[in-house]
Amino acid sequence: MVAEDDKNLVEILEDLNPVDVAKYINFVSAPQAGAIATFSGTTRDTFKGKTVLELRYEAYVPMAIRCIKTVCSSARASWNLHSIVVAHRLGTVPVGETSVFIAVSSVHRADALEACRYLIDEIKATIPIWKK
């Protein structure tokens, strides 16, 4: 039996380290997983009618990791999941680049899709990562 932490990957990426989507898809892939749902949050070029060139993120990393792991545990309690990845960048994230990436695998698509949405909603609402 694999421990829950072995099937969760939480990474806070320091300044200028891009999100490695292929690495994360590979992590959640498994023969028993019939579904992989992903969310990629990217920096857009406008906000409330104003031009955006980049976003900057700050975090208290130990607390952010601990809180994300708690959200992952909560998702596992609600859905039948195989693996979860949550990666969030810190520092400067230019327009068009990914700032947060989530991947969830499960036997069936409904669990993966619902858990993926839950994870991004909870991360945005509760994790101590701040957008400047």
Query: Per-residue pLDDT tens for 56-109?
Result: 999 999 999 999 999 999 999 999 999 999 999 999 999 999 999 999 999 999
Residue 12: is its pLDDT beyond 70? yes
Mean pLDDT of 114-131: 97
pLDDT digits (tens, 9 = 90+) for 24-54: 999 999 999 999 999 999 999 999 999 999 9
> Is the pLDDT score of 126 beyond 60?
yes
Give the DSSP letter string of 4-38: GGGGEEEEEE-TT----HHHHHHHH--TT--EEEE
- Give the relative orientation of helices 61-78 and 109-126 as an angle to the nearest 10 degrees: 150
Task: DSSP letter for 81, please.
Answer: -
3 — pLDDT class (breaks 50, 70, 90): low
Structure tokens at 20: 């490695």
pTM across the whole model: 0.94
Residue 1 has pLDDT above 50, yes or no: no
2 falls in which pLDDT band (50, 70, 90)? very low
